[in-house]
């Protein structure tokens, strides 16, 4: 179980009755120093966690430092503890920076890779579209040439048909005129012969 400042504040020592024990005031003073240091380290730890998680650091006003009376005997122990915590904090920050730099580098590499891939895909799609367009245009031009050739054939057929139709109609009219003239002659000849009988 982790030691909290409240654990230290609430800690009570049994008093000795039949043998010598520690000076109670000295123990209380030392414990007060420990409480202040634990609260400071807890606050610093929360701020570092907040920075790593991208949150706003916990306000310093939330820490409730206790009154401290310096005890000369406890100073070296507290100094060693502070140095150890400081080294640990520095190592943690270096690790966090290194991880951050690695994530940023990986993100940049991934971004560049995605951009390159996107550009390659775009170039491929454009090339395919241009090829499809050229093929479609060639097909349409060929189809257009075929239709134009068919139109020319139909126009030629129309001219020939009109010419033949005109010749046929003129031939029929000539035949009709010729037959009408012959019938008139036959009728006239029959009419004369009928009068004489």
pLDDT tens string 176-186: 888 877 777 76
Spatial separation of the C-alpha atoms in residues 35 and 4, rounded to whole Å: 8
Spell 108-120 as b/e; 16+ CB within 10 A means b: eeeeeeeeeeeee
Phi-psi region of 15 (alpha: psi -120 to 50; beta: other; left: phi over 0): beta
Assigned domain for 11 exists: yes
Question: Residue 71: is its pLDDT beyond 60?
Answer: no
Structural domain of 23: 5-73
Residue 144 lies in a domain: no
User: Does residue 58 form part of some domain?
Assistant: yes
Q: Is 194 contained in some domain? A: no
Please tell me the distance from the alpha carbon of residue 140 to that of residue 156, in angstroms, as a whole number.
24
Instruction: Give the CA distances from residue 104 to residues 52, 89, 92, 140, in Å, rounded to whole numbers and listed in that order.
Output: 14, 22, 18, 53
Sequence-separated (6 or more) residues with CB below 8 Å from residue 21: 15
pLDDT for position 14: 72
Residue 134 lies in a domain: no
Does 172 fall in a domain?
A: no
Mean pLDDT of 52-67: 53
- Residue among 48, 55, 139, 126 nearest 85 (CA): 48
Q: What is the dihedral of CA 44, 50, 56, 58, to 10 degrees?
A: -40
Q: Which of the two residues, 47 and 191, has the higher pLDDT score?
A: 47
Take residue 96 and report the two structure tokens written for it.
């966090």
User: Structural domain tally of the chain?
Assistant: 1
Please compute Rg for the chain using Cα positions. 58
| Mean of pLDDT values over 76-88 | 63
Instruction: Judge contact between 37 and 81, C-beta under 8 A.
Output: yes
Residue 117 lies in a domain: no
Q: What is the pLDDT of residues 5-40, one digit of tens each?
A: 777 778 777 777 776 777 777 778 888 888 888 888
């Amino acid at each position: 179980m982790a030691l909290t400042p409240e654990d230290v504040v609430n800690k009570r020592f049994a008093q000795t009755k039949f043998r010598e024990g520690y000076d109670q005031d000295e123990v209380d003073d030392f414990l007060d120093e420990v409480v202040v240091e634990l609260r400071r380290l807890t606050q610093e730890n929360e701020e570092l966690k907040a920075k790593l998680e991208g949150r706003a650091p916990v306000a310093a006003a939330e820490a409730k430092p206790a009154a401290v009376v310096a005890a000369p005997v406890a100073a070296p122990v507290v100094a060693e503890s502070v140095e150890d915590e400081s080294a640990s904090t520095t190592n943690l920050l270096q690790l966090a920076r290194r991880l951050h730099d690695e994530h940023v580098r990986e993100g940049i590499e991934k971004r560049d890779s995605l951009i390159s891939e996107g550009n390659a895909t775009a170039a491929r799609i454009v090339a395919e579209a241009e090829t499809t367009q050229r093929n479609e245009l060639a097909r349409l031009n060929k189809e257009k040439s075929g239709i134009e050739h068919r139109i020319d054939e139909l126009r030629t057929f129309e001219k020939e048909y009109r010419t033949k139709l005109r010749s046929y109609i003129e031939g029929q009219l000539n035949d009709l005129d010729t037959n009408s003239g012959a019938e008139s002659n036959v009728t006239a000849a029959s009419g004369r012969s009928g009068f004489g009988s």
